[in-house]
Each structure stands twice: as structure tokens, then as C-alpha cells.
Amino acid sequence: MTALDLSSPVAVVGTGTMGQGIAQVALVAGHPVRLYDAVDGRAGEAADAIGARLDRLVQKDRLTGAERDAARARLTSAESLDALADCALVVEAVVERLDVKQELFRALEDVVGDDCLLATNTSSLSVTAVGGALRVPGRFVGLHFFNPAPLLPLVEVVSGFATDPASATRAYETARAWGKTPVTCADTPGFVVNRVARPFYAEALAVHELRAADPATIDAVLRESGGFRMGAFELTDLIGQDVNESVTHSVWQAFFQDVRFTPSLAQRRLVESGRLGRKSGQGWYDYRDGAERPGPHTAPPAEAPAYVVVEGDLGPAAELVGLIREAGVEVRPEDGYGAGRIVLPDGGTLCLTDGELPGSEDLVHFDLALDYRAATRIALSASEGVRPGLLSGATGLFQALGKEVSVVGDVPGMIVARTVARIIDLAFDAVARGVAGPEDVDTAMRLGVNYPLGPFEWNRRLGDTWARDLLSHIHEWEPSGRCAPSLALHRHAAAADAREGIPS
């Protein structure tokens, strides 16, 4: 099954921001495109707006004047659904209400031919439910574009329970012919991206609700240590707190209130107060004229130790050994058992967080980093009873490496580590349940939400048992089940243990 021929008309129903974006993608790819909106005059306004964007593409040398003129000639607005009768594909981008979408597609079936591919751009509703009332449900598929559709490459091609494989393949090949990067997935709450991405928001909110760190500090650690393009609080402000919370709530409800997807009370209060983010002027941050954005908590300068003792293998943090030497701090290696650790001259110990609480006056945890050399900030955590001077020594060591240091409360798994571990866990669970394959999951998370690595790439870098062990420890301290490792992750880690001859 191949992509739709470029001579085949494509229709977009619903001409808001997303509908216009999808229409522009199909138009620039070379299709005749028809716009329809139930509100009189809205389709014509959308056509004008798309024309203006084509002008800007010419100004940026991304289209020639001739290509723009040809595209404009292929773009028309439709006065009624009847004008869509000969379309080969109709993509819906109307309000996220099941009854509205079902009514629309029933009406479309009375107009288009039985070979017309029907697609919904829903991000939160069941594709199976939307297409369930159709006379020919096999030609119905989800085509979930990401906003802004002309710029973001990812398209989730979602097969409902009744979708014919040939229809899904044609939708996939068409999206690819349009210059997009499609991934295939089953019809499950949140599909791939909105399902696997929930911990990115949830863990930041959990750390904040536990008063371990403020939003600015959590965001800085996620960006500057975790390698994420934006922190969770600034990203939800950009998305809209109401939109992000609605998706979280929808996924939670669709999974029958699975504790792993529980919404945040702090975010609910923000929405109730009308602080929706950038669009309302206030969210986690204040965007009003003259407002100053708070900076992250950063520790004051401290003296670096003259030497450190490195016992055992630091695992994912092994790169620190070379960085410490390069900073002029003597490294004295020693054999050790279990997880590696860095020992300061006064006997205090630094360890990569393992999901346990520090729990000792002589222990400081440091957070996971995507790349310890490139990281510009490191988070440290210690118990309230930590020995005086130990945090200062730990801070001085990382400052000697050129890092800013943020000291956060003693939350199991800290910030980056617990976030990455939970993303890995949900990815393994999704694959085990047939939602998508590992490669498609990694592609979806890199392109859909700009993660620095896909979950399975993270897992290969950190080790096959790392996420299970860290989440198991967090679960011991927070036994709600929210952070408990999935069966799929347990199986994967147990297989790795067996390869190493470690009893389960």
C-alpha cells in the first residue's frame, strides 16, 4: 500500500491552529487541499492565514514564488461537507469531544466514497471510540500531528480496534511522503508520547509538592543536568496548564485511575486560580510586563577538597573521575564493593542517587546527568542531620568541575534520576502491551517532546537494571504504587541479572 497520489484531494475539517497546520503540510507536499469549518467564514479566514504563512516561507527562501502561487491555487475553502465528496483523505481537527467527532464522521460517510481514508487528529480520545459508529470503520485511523504541525516532524499513526492494516499503512506512507516522521502505535490512552511523557511533569510536580525544591530550581536541574530542552514547569506554562492538566486527567481516567498517572493537586489549584501559563500572563512563572523571573537556588562558592578517594565503579557517573583529575583534584582510587562512591578527606561520602534517602550524617547524594562533562548544574541532596561541612565540601568539589550546584531536599531519586527512571519504566510497559516498538517509542519521544535521548537509549546507557533498582527503592519510601516498577521492567532487569549470574 503506497501513499496517496499527489493529485488526490485532501480535506481538513476544523480550521483552528492545528487544522491550518495540517492543511499547510498537505498543501506544501503538493495536494489539492479543501478547508471546511462549521462556523461560516472561518474556512476562508484560515485559507488567508495559510496564504500569509506561505508568503513568509518565500521570504525565508523555503519556497519559491512559483511554488507559493501553485500552492495557493490548490487551496480552496468549502461551503459544505458535500464539497468534500471526491477527497481521498479527510483529516478532522475539531473540538476534543467524542460526540462532536462521531457526528462529524457519520456525516462524512454520507458524502465521501467508501475508499476515502478518514482520520482524526485527536490527542486524548480513543480512536476506536471515535470511529466506532462508522459504517466502514476499517478505513478510519488516527493521524496525531504535533503543534505546530508544519515544524514538528512527528506523526503518530494510530490504529483503532477496527482499523484495517492497509488503511494504517496508507496513512503512514502518506505522512512520510509529506516529509514527516511517522510512528505506528495501537489505540491506547495517550498513544505513545502523551503516555510515556507523563512522568516528566509528574515527578517535577511531586518534588515540588514535597517542598524539596522550587519550580525554578527543578527546571534548571532538568535542563542543565538532565539535558532536557525545557523544564517541566516552564513547558507546562508554554503548553497551558489547563491543556496539560486535561491530558493528564484524561490519561488517568482512561486507565481507570491507575495510580501511575495520578494528576497533581498543585497543578489543579493553579488551573482553578486561572493561572494558565503564558496565555494568561501567570502560571508557575509571572509573564506580566515588568515581572522578574526567579532564578534557581544556587549554592555559594565553597572550597574544593585537596583530594578524593574513589571506591569502586561509579557506573553512570564514571566520567566524574576524569573530570575531577582535570580540575586539579587528586584522585586516589581504591577497590570497592557494590555501588561506587567518592570519599572526601573528612570521611564524608558522595554517591549517585539510587532511590534511597541519604539517611546518614556522612552521606550526600548527587543527581543523574545526561552528560557529566557537558552538564552545567548538579543537584545535591542530604538528610537534615548531615554533618556540618560535608555539604560544603561536596559543593566545592562540583564547583571545581565548573558546575553550578543546587542543594535540594532529600527526596528519593532526586529530580533527574527519578524522572528518567519512570520514563524508562512506562516505555517498557508500553512496548510489552503492544502499543509500539522500542525504536518507534524512542523516535516518538525524541521528536514529539524533544527529549535528549529516547527511553530505550537511556536504558542502554544506564544499564539494564538501573531503572528497576532505583524505582524499587523509591517505592519502599513512597509505597503508593506510583513509582513501583512495572512487570515488563522487572522481567527485563531479571533477564539481565540472569546473564550476569545474579540470583533474582
Answer for the pair 419, 445: CB distance below 8 angstroms, yes or no.
no
For strands 181-186 and 363-366, give the pairing.
unpaired
Q: Is 156 a catalytic residue?
A: yes
Q: Does a cis peptide bond (omega within 30 degrees of 0) precede residue 301?
A: no
Distance CA 372, CA 386 (A): 25
State which amino acid sits at residue 502: I
Q: Is 147 a catalytic residue?
A: no
Residue 45 CB neighbours (<10 A) = 15
Distance CA 93, CA 145 (A): 10
Q: Is 194 a catalytic residue?
A: yes
Distance CA 459, CA 429 (A): 13
Of 353, 357, 354, 365, the residue nearest 390 (C-alpha): 365
Distance CA 63, CA 59 (A): 8
Q: Which of 77, 92, 126, 144 is catalytic?
A: 144
Distance CA 196, CA 426 (A): 5
CA-based R_g, the chain, Å:
26
DSSP code for 283: S
Q: Which of 77, 121, 123, 126 is catalytic?
A: 123
Distance CA 103, CA 86 (A): 20
Residue 169 CB neighbours (<10 A) = 17
Task: State the SS3 of 313-334.
Answer: CCHHHCHHHHHHHHCCCEEEEE
What are the CA-CA distances from residue 30 to residues 71, 174, 485 (Å)?
A: 7, 12, 47
Q: Is 121 a catalytic residue?
A: no
Of 58, 36, 43, the residue nearest 108 (C-alpha): 36
State which amino acid sits at residue 290: G
Q: Which of 194, 244, 264, 381 is catalytic?
A: 194
Q: Which of 92, 109, 156, 234 is catalytic?
A: 156
Give the residue numbers annotated as catalytic, written as ranges: 123, 144, 156, 194
